[in-house]
Homo-oligomer: A and B are copies of this chain.
Amino acid sequence: MNHPLLSDAEIIAAWQANAAPWTKAVRNGDIESRRLITDRAVVDAIVSRMPNLVLDVGCGEGWLARALSSRGISVIGIDVVPGLIERAQQAGGGEFRVAAYEELATGTLDVLVDLVVCNFSLIGKESVDGMIAAVKSMLHPRGTLVVQTLHPLIACGDQPYVDGWRAGSWAGFSKDFVRPAPWYFRTMENWTRLFTANGWHLEELREPIHPRTRKPASIVFIARML
């Protein structure tokens, strides 16, 4: 059995507890890897597919919607944390709704988009597995899925390279953060399987390089329905 603090439910609870400091950190540009590399990496990946309408799954306080809308791309953002959706709505740049990933599978969202993006928002287990399967029903034929996440080989650290729950940390963040969210580690093999087993063709895999470490700062999967 999983520890109760290592679960999809705990991820949501942790983010609910950190909506305010997270919004501040993102809007102040406090997170160096985002400011230097990964924000641009996800925007570039999306823009390369020239979508008109994007669904941002796990949109948080909405920075990506604002970045895309400034480039003429319409965005619908969903997040399960009301405190983040409220802040996104206040800042504008898209249409924002409170929704759990599980609701994507039930069709209650009723949207049809050109591209679905998940930017560092696939950190759980069952909810992610279900989302990758369900999201197809929200995409136009030939639509694209863009996922940016921690690079497995880098994020693995000294631990064994096997799928499993890992404890979170707010090391490097301000003292306002509490209750770090756990995350579910996936190997490259199993990320790839998650896509291909659900009928996706992996068109591109990008590894944005951190200018200081000269190693990947993240991994970006760009997939299309087969």
Interface residues of A (CB under 8 A from B): 151, 153-154, 156, 159-162, 187-189, 192-193, 196, 201-207, 209, 214-216, 219, 226
Most central of A205, A206, A215 by chain B CB within 10 Å: A205
Are B201 and A201 in touch, CB under 8 angstroms?
A: yes
Known: A161-B209, A209-B161. A202 touches B204 (CB 8 A): no
Among B201, B205, B216, contact of A226 (Cβ-Cβ < 8 Å): B201
- When distances are taken between beta carbons in the complex, the residues of chain B under 8 Å from A204 are 189, 192-193, 196
Among B188, B202, B206, B226, contact of A207 (Cβ-Cβ < 8 Å): B188
Having A153-B216, A160-B214, A160-B215, one finds 6 other A-B pairs with CB under 8 Å, namely A160-B209, A161-B216, A188-B207, A189-B207, A192-B204, A193-B204
A215 to B187, CA, bound (A): 10
A125 to B149, CA, bound (A): 29
14 contacts between A and B (CB under 8 A): A151-B153, A156-B215, A160-B215, A161-B209, A161-B216, A187-B216, A188-B188, A188-B219, A189-B205, A189-B206, A192-B204, A193-B204, A196-B204, A202-B202
